[in-house]
Chain A
Amino acid sequence: MSEVGAREAPLLDEEFLARCAKLVLFSRSITQGRLRGEKRSRRRGLSTEFADHKDYTPGDDLRHLDWNIFGRLEKLFIKLFEEEEERNVFLLLDASASMNEGEPDKWRHCRQIAAALGAIALSAGDRVHLRVFDEKMRPFFPALRGSRSILRLIDTLENLDPGKGTALGRSLRAHAASCPPGSIQILISDLMDPKGLEDALRQVPGSRGESWLVHLLAGDEVEPNLQGDLRLLDTETSEYVDVTLTRSVVEAYRRAVEEFRADLRNHCQRFRIQPLEVSTAIPFDQVILEWMRQKRWLT
């Protein structure tokens, strides 16, 4: 699978979707927290599985009394079953205007990654919540479940349009209020918010489940290919910066990108968020199939 293709082309093709079906989102915190030792079944009809017994205490559901033991030992034991939980996977897409700039196309890249991760999650039986924000959180899309929702997810993503400004903190605060613990939150954004990162990242802490951050920058944002005397217009704020592209200024820009990323990593460390720095110069399938697997986001 290659990213090469016209803007009008489908975000994902069938071959890539088939490869996605073999992958599962790997949640360290949930696995370690429950100590189950093996992967739980996602099959329908086998939603509970015996796990252990415990002494009966008043108030326990009598439907779960183990009458066989009571018959043999005349003691009341309650059967404990392992609950099969549906994981909530939240795809948080930054649809601000800045995501629509840069070469190669950042907005398409963002939607392709979201579509791929959503498809993987749906294939694995997770419940997928698509949440899109720009200046504020857009109305929530209904949660998707099951492989049959993959196309619906892709269709939804393909019809998304980027908005104008960015308000990461405010938007993610709206998300955090309705995000149950134990969820996997995947934030895909360039994080270009003049108000800073901290407030935004505070809303998606890894302590409440699993938080992944795909920090997406366009290829020419990482390695600017500009020259001459320019007036750079901010697509969101309409502010401008006059800049003469000398070698030292380009070097300073590179340093600014590095410092921004370093700052981001610090915040991610603080909020237990796993960051992944992605450039649109890298094909998105390589990001999904290689980088995310190396990072053990996918198995």
Chain B
Amino acid sequence: MDASEAVADMTIGAPQFWIWAALIPLLLLLWFLKIRRRPMTVGSTLLWQKALEDERVRSPFQRLVRNLLLLCQLLVLIFLIFALLRPESGSLADSSRLNVFLVDRSASMNSIEEDGRTRFEHAREVLNQKLDEIAGERGVLISFGASADALTPVTTDLSLLDRAADRLSVGVGQTGFVEALELGLSFVRQDEVIPAIPEGAEEAGTELLSNQADARIIVITDGAVPAWNGDAIEVPVIHEIVGEASSNVGITAFAARREFSEGGDLKVLLELRNTGDEALSGTLELIGDGELLEEAATRTLDGGERWLQSFSVRSGDLRNLEAHWKAQEGDALESDDRAWLSLKKSRPLRVLLVGEENLILKNALSVVDNLQSEWLPFDDIDPESLSRDYDVVIWNRQVPETLPRGVGHLVFDAVPSPYWTEVPAVVEQPPLVRWAADDPVLRFSSMSPLDGRILRTRPLPPGKGTRALVEVREGALISRFASEGVRGIVVSFDILESSWPLSPSFPLFFTATLRDLGRQSSGINSGVRSGDLVEARPGGETRELFHIDPSGVTRTRSLDRDGRLQWRASDQLGVHKFQSERSSGDEDSIPAGFYSLEVPVNLLSLAESRIEPRPGASLGSASATADGFSWGEARREYWPWLLVLGLLALLLEWIVYHRR
């Protein structure tokens, strides 16, 4: 292609920068405004007129030469504007091949290979080899782990790709291959050239030639990538599979829930998988705040075996739980050998007991963990302050006409209005019909101790905004009610006239009810995965939070204008703490308004724990051959030359200015 053809085929890569052309008339305006000629009296202008005429005759461009500075400045501006416009030439025929590199940096790439290097290091070596092979072509580098990121623009500058490759590091996230492939395809499709439609082609039904760009996608991965279910891929996708190790046992699930049992109030569940083919032995430790909680469980897992292990522990003041699988040997991936949970200690539940003194209720309140209770006679209560001072109010035999909002109500042997307006008839020793075992307050307690063992009760009929939890034939023994900000549970009998307090189900019901009405959460945070978004809203006047990562490094993170911190979980596994003070100090000296959020970042991914080499993603009908590529001339970009010309014009302007 000669120069004229190149100019004819020249296209503008960034036409939005034409806007800068407005600077040219501005420069001219400024230039002409700038010229203020100094008046000077001379004897005669006769010779000057002759000189100027002579100058005009000698040089047709005298005016321009006279304004050489202006000319230089215009040239500088024009060259810079054209450089910004990114003119380029070259058509489909002479565009160089586009190589889209997708590099896997997911957790499985941390696997240690036989040579002691990680799988990711092997991947980077392959990437560097491939970069050396594409001299003269164009490339773009995309990494994918928890998210897919384009690390470079499409460029012919291999050094740029090399530098991006050197900066690349492995993560602990899942494999966002689909997102990465979509990103890579977007680069390929931006590269397509829309062919001109020949005249009459539409009428003649002529099939248009493919406008497919000369490109290929090179995926450097260990093959543990999800399948592609998107559109057909129009360019070849080449898999460069790295890694051979396959032995791995990983923790794939780690959960806990508060549950009352003889062993404690916290039940911990763990799932481990041997994703390899060979048996692996090791021990599983459960660690609470850095101390071993349970005796380590030793186990040999056969290839493909799944191991479910549960622990019951007393949570006490525990803040963090860590599960650690210590393989004796042969475990190639360490990232999935540890997992964390955080246990947030809840604020004590504030409960007010109103009405006649009731020894049973007082005793029941005294055994509930993490609770502060008070007693007041019915006549002494201030309904307006209840919601401010208490989470739950227990009404014993008496209820006010209007229950205050913003607080949970547990009513014993009374009929709260307006849910029930009439006092039902008394029924003696009614048999149970059913109870709602799915309700959170009854999930762990059996109601069978109530069956026919209540001396007297006034079963409540169904009402608007009510739900029967425990029913007898005449109505509900226990009901929920909720409407217009008022919520509560009513027990329609005097517990002193039943044997229920003697049954274990009563304290379970009582505790669950108080927690339910007080909206006290379990405080167990099972964590997030790398790349997940975590949001913290400390409230109050807090403008920044201190982020303490698992290695103990503290960083300050500012909140946005809504008083919110959004943090994308990093590649550092473990418990990340966000708190409003640099140091939390002792629990006794926690300042008012102190905010704390603990976020465990776990892998917990069976897909990532499965590290055995695989052939790569299933891409449906997509081509996967590496052959059939044509080599062509690179698409020429002219902006560097224009920039150089602009600088030369600037230099010329400088010289002219100083010579004058």
A contacts, CB < 8 Å to B: 97-102, 106, 190, 192, 194, 218, 221, 226-237, 239-244, 246-249, 252-253, 255-257, 259-260
Q: Is there an interface contact between B51 and A256, defined as CB atoms closer than 8 Å?
A: yes
* Pick from B39, B41, B51: contact of A249, CB under 8 Å: B51
Q: Is there an interface contact between B45 and A252, defined as CB atoms closer than 8 Å?
A: no
Contact A241 B43, CB 8 Å, known A228-B38, A248-B59: no
* Pick from A99, A230, A248: contact of B38, CB under 8 Å: A230
Q: Is there an interface contact between A260 and B44, defined as CB atoms closer than 8 Å?
A: no
* Pick from A101, A194, A228, A247: contact of B41, CB under 8 Å: A101
Q: Is there an interface contact between A253 and B44, defined as CB atoms closer than 8 Å?
A: no
Q: Which residues of chain B have C-beta atoms less than 8 A from A106's C-beta?
A: 43
Q: Is there an interface contact between A242 and B46, defined as CB atoms closer than 8 Å?
A: no
A209 to B214, CA, bound (A): 98
Q: Does B49 contact A (CB under 8 A)?
A: yes
Q: Which residues of chain A have C-beta atoms less than 8 A from B38's C-beta?
A: 228-231
Contact A253 B48, CB 8 Å, known A230-B37, A248-B55: yes
Q: Is there an interface contact between A256 and B43, defined as CB atoms closer than 8 Å?
A: no
Q: Is there an interface contact between B49 and A241, defined as CB atoms closer than 8 Å?
A: yes
Residue of B with least CB distance to A99 = B43
Q: Which residues of chain B have C-beta atoms less than 8 A from A242's C-beta?
A: 37
A78 to B55, CA, bound (A): 70
Interface residues of B in 21-55 (CB under 8 A from A): 35-52, 54-55
Interface residues on B, range: 20 to 34
Q: Which residues of chain B have C-beta atoms less than 8 A from A194's C-beta?
A: 44, 46
Q: Does B388 contact A (CB under 8 A)?
A: no
Q: Does B660 contact A (CB under 8 A)?
A: yes
Q: Which residues of chain B have C-beta atoms less than 8 A from A226's C-beta?
A: 40
Q: Is there an interface contact between A234 and B45, defined as CB atoms closer than 8 Å?
A: yes
A236 to B42, CA, bound (A): 9
B contacts, CB < 8 Å to A: 35-52, 54-55, 58-59, 62, 65-68, 659-660
Q: Is there an interface contact between A256 and B50, defined as CB atoms closer than 8 Å?
A: yes
Contact A246 B47, CB 8 Å, known A235-B42, A252-B58: no
Q: Is there an interface contact between B46 and A229, defined as CB atoms closer than 8 Å?
A: no
CB proximity of B67 to chain A, nearest CB, Å = 8
* Pick from A218, A239, A244: contact of B45, CB under 8 Å: A239
A98 to B44, CA, bound (A): 6
Q: Which residues of chain A have C-beta atoms less than 8 A from B35's C-beta?
A: 229
Q: Which residues of chain B have C-beta atoms less than 8 A from A228's C-beta?
A: 38
Supply 19 A–B pairs (Cβ within 8 Å), ascending by A. A98-B43, A101-B41, A192-B46, A229-B38, A231-B37, A232-B41, A233-B42, A234-B45, A234-B46, A240-B45, A241-B45, A246-B66, A247-B659, A249-B51, A249-B52, A252-B54, A252-B58, A256-B51, A260-B47
A97 to B659, CA, bound (A): 35
Q: Is there an interface contact between B42 and A257, defined as CB atoms closer than 8 Å?
A: no
Contact A246 B660, CB 8 Å, known A229-B35, A230-B39, A252-B54: yes
Contact A231 B39, CB 8 Å, known A192-B44, A256-B47: yes
CB proximity of A187 to chain B, nearest CB, Å = 17
Residue of B with least CB distance to A249 = B55
Q: Is there an interface contact between B40 and A233, defined as CB atoms closer than 8 Å?
A: yes
Q: Known A-B contacts: A102-B43, A229-B36, A252-B51. Give 14 more (CB < 8 A).
A: A100-B43, A101-B43, A192-B47, A221-B42, A230-B37, A230-B38, A235-B44, A246-B68, A248-B59, A249-B55, A252-B55, A252-B58, A253-B51, A256-B48
Q: Is there an interface contact between B43 and A235, defined as CB atoms closer than 8 Å?
A: yes
Q: Is there an interface contact between A221 and B43, defined as CB atoms closer than 8 Å?
A: yes
Q: Which residues of chain A have C-beta atoms less than 8 A from B52's C-beta?
A: 241, 243, 249, 252
Residue of B with least CB distance to A231 = B37
Contact A230 B40, CB 8 Å, known A240-B45, A249-B55, A249-B66: yes
Q: Which residues of chain B have C-beta atoms less than 8 A from A99's C-beta?
A: 43
Q: Is there an interface contact between B65 and A192, defined as CB atoms closer than 8 Å?
A: no
CB proximity of A108 to chain B, nearest CB, Å = 14
